Amino acid sequence: MKSKRVNEILLKSIEGYEDRRPYVEPFTYHPEGTMGHSESENIKEKVKRDKLAESLKEAIENAGIKDGMTISFHHHFRAGDKLVMMVVEILAEMGVKDLRIAASSLTSAHEELVEYIKSGVVTRIETSGIRGRLASEISEGILGKHPAVIRSHGGRARAICEGEIKIDIAFIAAPSSDCMGNANGVKGKSICGSMGYAKVDAEYADKVIVVTDTLVDYPNFPQSIPQTLVDYVVVVDEIGDSKGIMSGATRLTSNPKELLMAKRVSDVMLATGLFVDGFSMQTGSGGAALAVTRFVKDEAKKRNIKLSYALGGITKPMVDLLEEGLVDTLFDVQCFDLSAAESIGKNEKHVEISADFYANPFNKSAAVNKLDFVILSALEIDVDFNVNVISGSDGVIRAASGGHSDTAAMAKVSIVVAPLTRGRISTVIDKVTTVVTPGSTVDILVTDYGVTVNPRRKDLIEKFTKAGLPLITMEELRKISTRLLGTPKEIEFSDEVVAVVEYRDGSIIDVIRKRKQ
């Protein structure tokens, strides 16, 4: 337009438009960073048509890194992740200090963070889990006045969506991406399958850097992370090792005790009356929990029924259910093995979901809200059914909160399966070292000694009695384990808090203290 149609005087004459801006030029008001620069008369040359950065360092600089910022990571590569250490090393070289790492979880791939905590590059850790040397150092108080924050997967999604975690820069390890940042986990040199946790980070972070080792033609498909959320795309040699996805916690069992317990879980499920056409389930990690899926398959076939959906970290037995037509949909926030990662790329009913869709307690309903059954593991469970999945009986952090408390709270029937004793340690104790999942949300404990029902669930006790299940009370279990193992010496803790355990709703359910020397 040679002469503009609208000016301030006109706008002032229209009610409600007094402070509005008249049009100037097509890109006058675009936010910084969304357009390129060009002096050409052809304004089309101002449009930024790729987001590739020369290097990870350049992308980090352009994203405006500052001391004290919060950077986020997702753990879909689990023990095979290479991105966290790659980024932290660059940040250390750049002299950045006082970072908060908000990771969906941390694994054995991240033990070297210890050095960066010692040097002050990283001063805060927020995560679902911590393992290995990093976990033991944190348990010893290496983080000083900023205790680690342990959140469930649903709780982390809630904290991000509600603004409690404000991510400055999200780093997305993407098995494939195009030049605009459309990324997924099903194509590329190293696939990880679902990118469910990263989806929430990308949506709420101020800046988003997609890091890939496989740059593909535009438009990449599917768009697990859409270009609308991505600031920079960086190509590196290797983002992770797919083999690391399948770590100890998700290996299938051939242990007879675990198989016995798994069979008992399926008997429990049958006796609830909820094992009917259209039921839903999640199994957590842990040998027995995973083995349950095999029994479920046999029973579903026998009864000629089909599950509506299976949820959670998805494993090969779940994929088998889908491929045999025994479940309608798999909702997958994270692939627990390569079979799952391959399946999600080719079966449309194997659906990638975000951590928000999975378990955020404050959205308008998450997938966990429709669960009939969840089968969970435990490091410790106490006589009030409180469960510890984060610390060992030695008081040292060693595992992850995961979706444990999210699914336990929402499933119609939550079942914890664990052996009564592991070596010289009793799983059932008077008071768990750390509470991750409150006992009021745990309905059933299945051990190698029988089925223990939470006294709140009189309905289940009645059903299980009728079905002739081998019921045993918590008190009886305690007696057996004491008889077998004696009474362990209580660990003494100092007052120093080394980690805070958030419940999914953001309240603080427990703290982890440093052990007395």
Name residues contacting its own copies, limited to 62-121 (CB under 8 A).
none
CB of 402 to its own copies, least distance (A): 17
Residue 49 or 118: the one with the smaller Cβ distance to its own copies is 49
User: What is the per-residue binding string for its own copies in 236-275, x denoting contact by CB under 8 A?
Assistant: ----------------------------------------
The whole-angstrom separation of Cα 416 and Cα 154 is: 19
Q: How far apart are CA 423 and CA 425, in angstroms?
A: 6
**Of 453, 443, 457, the residue nearest 413 (C-alpha):** 443
Please give the torsion angle defined by the CA atoms of residues 211, 398, 290 and 428, in that order, rounded to the nearest 10 degrees: -160
**How far is it, in rounded angstroms, from Cα 512 to Cα 65?**
31
Element (H or E) spanning 296, and its range? helix 287-303
Regarding 325 and contact with its own copies (CB under 8 A), the answer is no
Decide if residue 355 touches its own copies (CB under 8 A).
no
Determine, following the binding rule CB under 8 A, whether residue 361 of this chain makes contact with its own copies.
Answer: yes
End-to-end CA distance of the chain: 78
CB of 366 to its own copies, least distance (A): 7
Q: How far is CA 500 from CA 181, 401, 507, in A?
A: 35, 12, 10
Toward its own copies, which CB reaches closer, 110 or 151? Answer: 151
Range 300-319, binding its own copies (CB under 8 A)? 308-309
Nearer Cβ to its own copies (180/418)? 180
User: Near its own copies by CB under 8 A, which window of 26-34, 103-111, 169-177, 416-424?
Assistant: 26-34
Nearer to its own copies, 263 or 457 (CB): 457
Cα 490 to Cα 7: distance, rounded to the nearest angstrom? 77
Contact, 216 vs 176, CB < 8 A?
yes
Residues 225 and 198 sit within 8 Å (Cβ to Cβ): yes
Q: Looking at 19, 39, 41, 490, which residue binds its own copies (CB under 8 A)?
A: 41
Of 12, 34, 61, 470, the one binding its own copies (CB under 8 A) is 34
163 binds its own copies, rule: CB under 8 A: no
Q: Is 30 in the site for its own copies (CB under 8 A)?
A: yes
Two tokens at 505?
């709703």
Does 12 engage in binding with its own copies (CB under 8 A)?
no
Is 231 near its own copies (CB under 8 A)? yes
> Of the ranges 95-103, 235-243, 437-445, 468-476, which one interacts with its own copies (CB under 8 A)?
437-445
Looking at residues 474 to 503 of the shown chain, list those that interact with its own copies (rule: CB under 8 A): 495, 497, 500, 503
Structure tokens at 333: 């926030």
- Cβ atoms < 10 Å from Cβ of 470: 12
Q: What angle do CA 473, 310, 468 make, to 5 degrees?
A: 30
16 lies in the site for its own copies, by CB under 8 A: yes
Considering only residues 180 to 199 of the shown chain, the ones binding its own copies according to CB under 8 A are: 180-181
CA distance linking residue 313 with residue 387, whole number of Å: 20
Q: Least CB distance from residue 226 to its own copies, whole Å?
A: 6
- Write down the least CB distance from residue 254 to its own copies, Å: 33
- Which tokens is 163 given? 């603004």
| Total interface residues for its own copies by CB under 8 A | 100
State whether residue 355 is helix, strand or coil: helix
Strands 327-335 and 307-314: parallel
Judged by CB under 8 A, which of 9, 19, 28, 37 binds its own copies?
Answer: 28
| Closest CB to its own copies among residues 10, 484 | 10
CA atoms in the 13 A half-sphere facing the CB of 498: 23
Residues 179 and 51 sit within 8 Å (Cβ to Cβ)? yes
- Chosen residue from 348, 423, 483, 489 binding its own copies by CB under 8 A: 348
* Rounded-to-integer distance, Cα 43 and Cα 165, Å: 39
Q: Which residues pair with 100 in a beta bridge?
A: 70, 124
Q: Interface with its own copies by CB under 8 A: which range of 141-149, 281-289, 388-396, 445-453? A: 141-149
51 contacts its own copies (rule: CB under 8 A): yes
Q: Which stretch binds its own copies (CB under 8 A): 64-72, 212-220, 313-321, 480-488?
A: 212-220
Helix/strand/coil for 168: coil
217 counts as binding its own copies under rule CB under 8 A: yes
Footprint of its own copies on 440-459 (CB under 8 A): 440-441, 443, 456-459
Q: How many CA atoms lie within 13 A of 174 on its CB side?
A: 36
Which of 223, 253, 421, 482 contacts its own copies by CB under 8 A?
Answer: 223
Whichever of 116 and 232 has its CB closer to its own copies, that residue is: 232
Between 266 and 437, whose beta carbon lies closer to its own copies? 437
User: How far is it, in rounded angstroms, from Cα 364 to Cα 314?
Assistant: 24
Cβ proximity to its own copies, 43 vs 484, nearer residue: 43
Rounded Cα distance, 487 and 321, in Å? 43
Give the nearest distance from C-beta 458 to its own copies in angstroms.
7
| 6 counts as binding its own copies under rule CB under 8 A | yes
Pick between residue 29 and residue 517 the one whose CB is nearest to its own copies. Answer: 29
Min dist. Cβ of residue 17 to its own copies (A): 7
The full DSSP string for 318-349 is HHHHHHTTSEEEEEEEEESSHHHHHHHTT-TT
Which of 219, 273, 325, 486 binds its own copies (CB under 8 A)? It is: 219
Q: How far is the CB of 76 from its own copies (least distance, A)?
A: 20
Determine contact, residues 341/186, Cβ cutoff 8 Å: yes
